[in-house]
């Protein structure tokens, strides 16, 4: 099942959503079940947990910086955008100053996100935009941009191009939070790593510090999921070109 989904769309959020929520489901094959319960599979759910823990701290940092307390988050390649929806629902449902725009090319993922946001009563805080985020023309620049689960399968040069493009959507003192898969996944769970590769989900390992440096960002800090399989790097624009 995982492999059918990635063959149809290699970057699909169907997989990430299943890893976040799939334990309640009866998966069709033992291999799907294995992947869901493997360290590599669980690390993706742990990545979501880590983002949900760190994002409120980063939002608060920007609320303190802004006189009007307004913070705008761009969730690029959001899928449904469960991370931001759950953070807004648990911390900011009654504060209309913290808002988000979720951009994804997959209309079905956005519909799912709209439903999630309605259920969590934060739909008034989130705009859902269908399209390629690389071609997005923002009317307002973002304080915080999330790029989670986007770079894992891309080569170094493509990642640099993406980070350069999204820099134009950020305020000068805004920050970009990017997830990058670590070699630790291959070292500590090689079987699942190879299973994922066979299932058309091939990880490409690269150094996030180098990507940020080449794309013109200053690295502020990092955090990881509990397995250390995903590194979330936070950076601010060093230059605008
Ligand atoms: C693996 S999912 C990750 C979803 C979400 N960020 C998360 O962490 O759960 C990757 C998502 O990025 C979207 N995506 C990839 N490249 C994109 C692009 N250039 N423009 C818009 N969406 C894109 C895919 O459609 C997919 O929903």
Contact indicator for 142, 73 with CB cutoff of 8 Å: yes
How close is the Cα of 76 to the center of ligand 1, in Å? 7
For the domain covering 2-237, report its CATH number. Answer: 3.40.50.150
Answer whether residue 49 shows pLDDT above 80. Answer: yes
Q: What would the mean pLDDT of 48-56 be, rounded to a whole number?
A: 98
The reported pLDDT for the residue numbered 84 is 98
Task: Summarize pLDDT for 82-133 with one digit per residue, the tens.
Answer: 999 999 999 987 778 999 999 999 999 999 999 999 999 999 999 999 999 9
Residue nearest to atom 12 of ligand 1 (CA): 77
The reported pLDDT for the residue numbered 12 is 82
Q: Which atom of ligand 1 is nearest to the CA of 131?
A: 21
Residue nearest to atom 4 of ligand 1 (CA): 79
Task: Summarize pLDDT for 131-182 with one digit per residue, the tens.
Answer: 999 999 989 999 999 999 999 999 999 999 999 999 999 999 999 999 999 9
How close is the Cα of 15 to the center of ligand 1, in Å? 11
| Rounded CA separation 24/214 (Å) | 42
The reported pLDDT for the residue numbered 147 is 98
Q: What would the mean pLDDT of 192-207 be, rounded to a whole number?
A: 90
Task: Summarize pLDDT for 1-42 with one digit per residue, the tens.
Answer: 777 777 777 678 888 998 898 777 777 778 888 889 999 999
Q: What would the mean pLDDT of 178-204 be, rounded to a whole number?
A: 93
The reported pLDDT for the residue numbered 240 is 60
N-term to C-term CA, the chain:
43
Q: Which atom of ligand 1 is nearest to the CA of 79?
A: 27
Answer whether residue 241 shows pLDDT above 70. Answer: no
Mutate to test the pocket of ligand 1, among 19, 106, 130, 150 (most ligand atoms within 8 A of CB): 150
C-alpha dist (Å) from residue 222 to 29, 47, 59, 89, 204: 36, 13, 16, 24, 19
Q: Which residues lie with the beta carbon below 6 Å from any ligand 1 atom?
A: 11-13, 16, 77-79, 103-106, 109, 132-134, 148-150
How close is the Cα of 149 to the center of ligand 1, in Å? 7
Cβ contacts of residue 147 below 8 Å, gap of 6+?
A: 76, 77, 162, 163, 166, 176, 177, 178, 179
Helix, coil or strand: residue 237: strand
How close is the Cα of 103 to the center of ligand 1, in Å? 8
How close is the Cα of 16 to the center of ligand 1, in Å? 10
The length of the chain in residues reads 241
Task: Summarize pLDDT for 221-236 with one digit per residue, the tens.
Answer: 999 999 999 999 999 9
Task: Summarize pLDDT for 66-85 with one digit per residue, the tens.
Answer: 999 999 999 999 999 999 99
| Rounded CA separation 97/216 (Å) | 29
Whole-number mean pLDDT of the chain? 93
The reported pLDDT for the residue numbered 136 is 94
Note the pTM of the prediction, 2 decimals: 0.94
Which helix (H) or strand (E) segment holds residue 131: the answer is none
C-alpha dist (Å) from residue 169 to 22, 133, 139, 163: 34, 10, 9, 10
| Rounded CA separation 238/218 (Å) | 6
Mutate to test the pocket of ligand 1, among 13, 14, 166 (most ligand atoms within 8 A of CB): 13
Domain spans, the chain: 2-237
Largest CA distance in the chain: 54
């Amino acid at each position: 099942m995982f492999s059918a989904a990635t063959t149809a769309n290699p970057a699909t959020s169907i997989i990430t959503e299943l890893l976040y929520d799939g334990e309640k489901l009866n998966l069709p094959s033992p291999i799907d079940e294995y992947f869901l319960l493997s360290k590599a599979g669980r690390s993706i759910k742990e990545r979501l947990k880590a983002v949900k823990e760190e994002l409120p701290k980063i939002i608060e940092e920007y609320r303190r910086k802004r006189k009007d307390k307004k913070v705008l988050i761009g969730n690029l390649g959001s899928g449904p955008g469960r991370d931001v929806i759950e953070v807004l629902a648990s911390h900011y449902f009654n504060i209309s100053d913290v808002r988000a725009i979720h951009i994804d090319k997959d209309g079905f993922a956005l519909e799912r996100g709209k439903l999630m946001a309605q259920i969590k009563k934060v739909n008034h805080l989130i705009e859902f935009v269908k399209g390629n985020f690389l071609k997005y023309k923002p009317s307002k620049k973002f304080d915080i941009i999330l790029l989670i689960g986007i770079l894992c399968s891309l080569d170094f040069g493509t990642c640099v191009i993406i980070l350069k493009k999204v820099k134009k959507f950020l305020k000068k003192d805004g920050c970009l939070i990017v997830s990058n898969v670590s070699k630790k996944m291959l070292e500590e769970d090689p079987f699942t790593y190879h299973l994922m590769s066979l299932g058309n989900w091939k990880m490409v390992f690269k150094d996030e510090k180098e990507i940020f440096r080449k794309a013109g960002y200053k690295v502020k800090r990092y955090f990881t999921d509990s397995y250390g399989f995903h590194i979330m790097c936070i950076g601010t624009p060093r230059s605008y070109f």
